């Protein structure tokens, strides 16, 4: 008994020690580790302390009210038009079309509207479908330390949900054509947004939803966010959440150590939005149904029925846990 206690004590101490090697997250244990190496939107590595107090003063001034909404269409695929929540003229004077589907994209921690995931997914959508794309820029809060940004995600999501309700009520649209896409913390934000609308989006896609501080968080993305919620897991247990939380959950390459990433958690985490952008353009990723999470985490092939991972098809439906194998470089 004393030996087991000592082993457990040493493990806890190790998980809370400051890691000496930059970018080495081998010490990380979800729920107990204090420090985690994370990479910001400009590729700078930062050691985040998950036990620091939340900056409540900052949250009072940086929250969902600071969200910006950038509209892209085939008429303006690279230069956004700013839609201002509550300003009907900002919609009427834009290229927004009530007759076209609406895609809403939300970045993660330390990101912005200019993040590569937004340009990559926006161009994939517009090259493949004639749609309205709204990129949500919540950098005012996302630039804070991780624990403060994570705490503010429910506010970010609430404002996104209210914005989309206002947009459709003001300028028209059809909830059968609304699709939310969120990466990392942004995946949890679109989960909140979908629930705020009353589960009205026809589809919600979570791209490696953030794991730290979210595994037991009631605000995390779940199936109440939309009529079909699909989740892609690419760095489980470190940057990304481990457990299945959607109607359909995909674990490409066993959900971790993505090919070509050399063991980098940030690379594996970011691979989720790269795989998704590729899937919108090609729709070539085919998953096989697994008997459960353990089988998906231990196999990159399962024996069950097939379901394509990703894509932008609004009528897509499915359920269960899926495994598949991808390649190391674009289009994967």
Reported as a single tens digit per residue, the pLDDT across 162-174 is 999 999 999 999 9
Residue 185 reports pLDDT greater than 70:
yes
Identify whether the C-beta of residue 61 lies closer than 8 Å to the C-beta of residue 141. no
pLDDT band at 1 (very low <50, low <70, confident <90, very high): very low
Is pLDDT above 70 for 11?
A: no
pLDDT for the residue numbered 13: 45
Given this model, what pLDDT does residue 20 score? 59
The alpha helices in 133-206, defined as continuous H runs, are: 139-142, 146-171, 185-196
144 pLDDT exceeds 80?
yes
The residue among 197 and 32 whose pLDDT is bigger is: 197
Element (H, E) at 269: helix 265-282
pLDDT at 292 (0 to 100)? 97
* Domain extent listing, the chain: 40-324
pLDDT given at position 27: 87
196-254 pLDDT, tens digit per residue, is: 999 999 999 999 999 999 999 999 999 999 999 999 999 999 999 999 999 999 999 99
Active-site annotation holder among 27, 107, 233, 269: 269
Q: Which of 139, 257, 260 is nearest to 189 (CA)?
A: 139
Q: Does residue 3 register a pLDDT over 50? A: no
Of residues 6 and 62, more confidently modeled? 62
pLDDT at 82: 98
What angle is formed at CA 230 by the lines to CA 323 and CA 79, rounded to 5 degrees?
A: 120
- The active-site residue out of 94, 184, 268, 278 is 184
Residue 205's pLDDT is 98
The fold of 40-324 is Rossmann fold (3.40.50)
Q: Is 269 an annotated catalytic residue?
A: yes
Q: Which contiguous run of DSSP H or E holds residue 91?
A: helix 88-92
Our answer to whether residue 184 is catalytic in this structure is: yes
Among 208, 235, 268, 270, which one carries the catalytic annotation?
A: 208
Mean pLDDT of 35-63: 90
pLDDT score for 42: 65
């Amino acid at each position: 008994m004393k030996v087991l206690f000592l082993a457990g004590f040493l493990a806890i101490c190790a998980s809370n020690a400051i890691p000496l090697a930059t970018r080495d997250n081998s010490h990380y244990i979800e729920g107990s580790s204090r420090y985690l190496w994370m990479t910001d939107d400009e590729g700078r590595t930062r050691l985040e302390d998950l036990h620091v107090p939340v900056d409540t003063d900052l949250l009072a001034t940086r929250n969902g009210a600071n969200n910006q909404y950038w509209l892209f269409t085939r008429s303006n695929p690279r230069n956004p038009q700013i839609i201002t929540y509550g300003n009907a003229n900002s919609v009427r004077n834009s290229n927004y079309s009530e007759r076209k589907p609406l895609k809403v994209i939300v970045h993660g921690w330390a990101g912005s509207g200019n993040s590569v995931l937004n340009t990559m997914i926006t161009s994939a959508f517009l090259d493949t479908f004639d749609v309205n794309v709204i990129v949500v820029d919540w950098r005012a809060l996302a630039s804070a330390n991780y624990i403060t940004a994570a705490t503010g995600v429910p506010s970010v999501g609430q404002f996104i949900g209210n914005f989309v309700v206002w947009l459709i009520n003001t300028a028209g649209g059809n909830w059968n054509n609304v699709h939310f896409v969120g990466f990392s913390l942004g995946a949890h934000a679109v989960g909140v947004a979908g629930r705020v609308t009353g589960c009205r989006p026809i589809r919600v896609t979570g791209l490696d939803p953030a794991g730290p501080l979210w595994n037991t968080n009631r605000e995390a993305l779940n199936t109440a966010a939309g009529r079909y919620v699909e989740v892609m897991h690419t760095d489980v247990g470190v940057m990304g959440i481990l457990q299945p939380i959607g109607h359909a959950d995909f674990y490409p390459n066993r959900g971790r150590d993505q090919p070509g990433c050399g063991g980098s958690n940030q690379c594996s985490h970011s691979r989720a939005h790269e795989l998704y952008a590729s899937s919108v353009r090609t729709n070539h990723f085919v998953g096989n149904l697994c008997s459960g999470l353990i089988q998906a985490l231990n196999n990159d092939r399962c024996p069950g029925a097939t379901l394509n991972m990703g894509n932008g098809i609004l009528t897509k439906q499915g359920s269960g846990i899926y495994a598949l194998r991808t390649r190391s470089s674009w289009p994967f």
